[in-house]
């Protein structure tokens, strides 16, 4: 069975709401590699939006983009046949560069810019790009393990939650090393969980929380691997990559 382009609308991971202290994004303040990520996502979405409105291509471009690049759990189980060789593997990355509509992309990219700037100051811009890619894969993997709906999933917020995972690991490690209280960290994580639960109910289950969870856990693991520390947590940051 091939992928049905008329399958249910893609599940959209919503962008996370970082805790207070999120850095402002100003002109020239975000490293080039982060802008590259945002530029790729924006270019794809602008092309698909233009096609949706009959300005270029065909109105079904988005439908086919999701069919070829969205994350489809039935491909993992084998109940669907891939549209091309290797699609079972490429979708772990490609889904993060597709979005459901222009607003979905803009919301995600605002978060990627803000947290990408923050992380670039801690681990360097190229490690931040690596975090985006690896945590997108981690988000897809957990989505495949836990989601049974069969609906396609698109969006960069699994990777954005990966940014949060690295950031919060850095905060946890720095606070622990400095002997600082962990209550502010735990409160921000609790607020993140509550926000996800509330949005899940508001969207009647059409929230890819599995991708959020997978991205966060993968990001936390990457922070542990690098033993990074937030500069404001009492210890110097790891040297930029």
**Into how many domains does the chain fold?**
1
* 99-124: pLDDT as tens digits: 999 999 999 999 999 999 999 988 99
Q: Report if residue 164 sits inside a domain.
A: yes
CA distances from 4 to 61, 74, 111, 150, 209 (A): 14, 11, 32, 11, 24
The pair phi, psi for residue 134, each rounded to 5°, is: -70, -40
Residue owning tokens 């989505």: 143
Tens of pLDDT along the chain (241 residues) come to 444 545 555 555 555 544 444 444 444 589 999 999 999 999 999 999 999 999 999 999 999 999 999 999 999 988 899 999 999 999 999 999 999 999 999 999 999 999 999 999 889 999 999 999 999 999 999 999 998 888 899 999 999 999 999 999 999 988 888 888 888 889 988 988 998 888 778 776 667 889 999 999 999 999 998 877 665 554 444 444 4
Q: What string of DSSP letters covers 93-158?
A: HHGGG--SSHHHHHHHHHHHHHHHHHHHHHH-HHHHHHHHHHHHHHHHHHHHHH--S---B--SHH
> What range does the domain containing 100 cover?
32-233
Residue 78: its pLDDT value, please? Answer: 86
- pLDDT at position 144: 94
DSSP per-residue codes, 34-62: HHHHHHHHHHHHHHHHHHHTTSSS-TTHH
Residue 117 lies in a domain: yes
What CA–CA distances, in Å, run from 61 to 41, 55, 84, 135, 193? 15, 12, 17, 27, 35
pLDDT the model gives residue 201: 81
The answer to whether position 2 is within a domain reads no
Q: Is residue 23 assigned to a domain?
A: no
The CATH number that applies at residue 65 is 1.20.1540.10
* pLDDT value for 207: 78
Angle, helices 125-146/209-226, rounded to nearest 10 degrees: 140
* Residue 241 to residue 237: CA distance in whole angstroms: 12
Q: What is the pLDDT of residue 8?
A: 53
Asked whether residue 82 is assigned to any structural domain, the reply reads yes
Residue 39 falls inside a structural domain: yes
Residue 4 maps to a domain: no
| pLDDT value for 9 | 54
Predicted model pTM: 0.80
Q: Is the dihedral of CA 117, 119, 124, 127 positive or negative?
A: negative
Give a yes or no: residue 16 inside a domain.
no
């Amino acid at each position: 069975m091939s992928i049905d382009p008329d399958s249910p609308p893609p599940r959209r991971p919503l962008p996370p709401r970082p805790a207070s202290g999120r850095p402002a994004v100003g002109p020239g303040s975000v490293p080039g590699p982060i802008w590259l990520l945002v530029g790729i996502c924006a270019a794809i979405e602008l092309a698909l939006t233009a096609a949706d409105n009959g300005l270029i291509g065909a109105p079904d471009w988005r439908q086919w983009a999701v069919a070829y690049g969205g994350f489809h759990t039935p491909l993992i189980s084998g109940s669907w046949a891939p549209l091309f060789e290797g699609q079972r593997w490429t979708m772990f990355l490609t889904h993060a560069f597709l979005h459901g509509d222009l607003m979905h992309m803009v919301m995600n990219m605002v978060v990627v810019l803000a947290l990408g700037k923050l992380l670039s100051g801690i681990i360097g811009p190229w490690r931040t790009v690596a975090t985006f890619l690896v945590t997108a894969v981690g988000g897809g993997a957990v989505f495949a393990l836990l989601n049974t709906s069969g609906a396609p999933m698109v969006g960069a917020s699994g990777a954005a939650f990966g940014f949060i995972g690295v950031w919060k690991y850095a905060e946890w490690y720095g606070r622990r090393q400095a002997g600082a209280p962990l209550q502010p960290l735990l409160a921000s994580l609790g607020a993140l969980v509550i926000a996800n639960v509330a949005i899940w109910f508001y969207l009647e289950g059409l929230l890819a929380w599995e991708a959020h969870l997978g991205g966060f856990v993968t990001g936390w693991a990457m922070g542990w691997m690098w033993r990074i520390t937030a500069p404001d947590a009492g210890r110097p940051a790891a040297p930029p990559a």
